[in-house]
Amino acid sequence: MILGIDTSLGTAVAVVDLDGVVRAEASSDNPLGHAEVIGDLLQAALADAARGPLGQTGAIEPVTLTHVAAGMGPGPFTGLRVGIAAARAFALGRGLPVVAVPSHDAAALEVFLASALTDPFAEVPRFGIVTDARRREFAYTVYDGIDDDGLPVRVAGPALTPRDEIDTVLAGFGAERRDAVSISAAMLATVAARAVAAGRGLTGPEPLYLRAPDVTLPRAPKRVTA
């Protein structure tokens, strides 16, 4: 089983079997308060997972996690870090590996799975996942199809663009716009499960900040005399 944690938008936690069956999901859409809710959501998801696949309430069975999937962003930094810190610490506590997953990959997989539910043979046209990056900017990643490992194929991004330029940018890639207001931790964990099965890494260990820290270099001290 894989524990998925994403705090790139709201706070989302899920436990998913390696074959993709969702055992538990717990989330908060609040774009703030990640540090407040992460502990209770983790505890709730683990307790739910012990009762069997989502929606069932079987006998309590042990939750045997094998990996922790961490949503690496992009997303507002302060919240994003809470989830990555939690994923790393949780994994350390149980001696598990962390699978770093670009958060947009989860939203993209959701698009493909939703399409497959209505028509398994439908082609999903190239699209861009778009999320809030604050400061009048959007973060986007362009995807085109799904590969043999069942993983969405990234063709551009993740990157930032001013909000009023997003449509032009996506048109330039010939991509439809898909806004995501939340990231599903179950999808994130599923992406991780597929990457593990395929023996692939999806992104490096660094968060996808996409922006240098906001710092002002010190000026010469201000004069205090006239």
Partner 1 sequence: MTRAEPLVLGIETSCDETGIGIVRGRTLLSNTIASSMDEHARYGGVVPEVAARAHLEALQPAIEAAVAEAGITLDELDAVAVTSGPGLAGALMVGVGAAKALAVSLGKPLYAVNHLVGHIAADILTGDEVEYPTIALLVSGGHTSLLLVRDLTTDVELLGETMDDAAGEAFDKIARILGLPYPGGPEIDRAAAAGDPNAIRFPRGLSRASDMAEHRYDFSFSGLKTAVARWVEQSSLTPGEGASEASPETGPGAPGGPSAADVAASFREAVVDVLVTKALDACARHGVPRLLLGGGVVANRRLREVALDRAEAAGVTVRIPPLSLCTDNGAMIAALAAQLISSGRRPSTLAFGADSTLPVTEIQISEEAP
Angle at 174 between CA 169 and CA 176, to 5 degrees: 80
Residue 15 interacts with partner 1 (CB under 8 A): yes or no: no
- Beta bridge pairs of residue 190: none
Nearer to partner 1, 28 or 190 (CB): 28
Neighbours of 194 (CB within 10 A): 22
Site for partner 1 in 69-128 (CB under 8 A): 77-78, 81-94
Between the alpha carbon of residue 202 and those of residues 58, 75, 109, 225, 226, the distances in Å are: 34, 17, 14, 57, 59
What is the C-alpha end-to-end distance of the chain, expressed in Å?
69
Residue 46 interacts with partner 1 (CB under 8 A): yes or no: yes
User: Considering only residues 54, 159, 209, 210, which one is a binding residue for partner 1 as defined by CB under 8 A?
Assistant: 209
Nearer to partner 1, 66 or 115 (CB): 66
User: Considering only residues 12, 26, 42, 142, which one is a binding residue for partner 1 as defined by CB under 8 A?
Assistant: 42
Residue 62 interacts with partner 1 (CB under 8 A): yes or no: no
Sheet containing 11-16: which strands, arranged edge to edge? Answer: 22-28, 11-16, 2-6, 67-71, 98-101
User: Considering only residues 58, 199, 204, 213, which one is a binding residue for partner 1 as defined by CB under 8 A?
Assistant: 213
Residue 172 interacts with partner 1 (CB under 8 A): yes or no: no
In terms of DSSP H, where are the helices of 73-177? Answer: 77-94, 103-118, 166-172
* Least CB distance to partner 1 at residue 184 (A): 19
Residue 214 interacts with partner 1 (CB under 8 A): yes or no: yes
Q: How is residue 11 annotated by DSSP?
A: E
Nearer to partner 1, 1 or 111 (CB): 1
Residue 59 interacts with partner 1 (CB under 8 A): yes or no: no
Q: How is residue 64 annotated by DSSP?
A: -
* Least CB distance to partner 1 at residue 33 (A): 7
Q: How far apart are CA 127 and CA 175, in angstroms?
A: 4
* Least CB distance to partner 1 at residue 140 (A): 22
Residues that bind partner 1 (CB under 8 A): 5, 7, 33-40, 42-43, 46, 77-78, 81-94, 207, 209, 213-218, 220-225
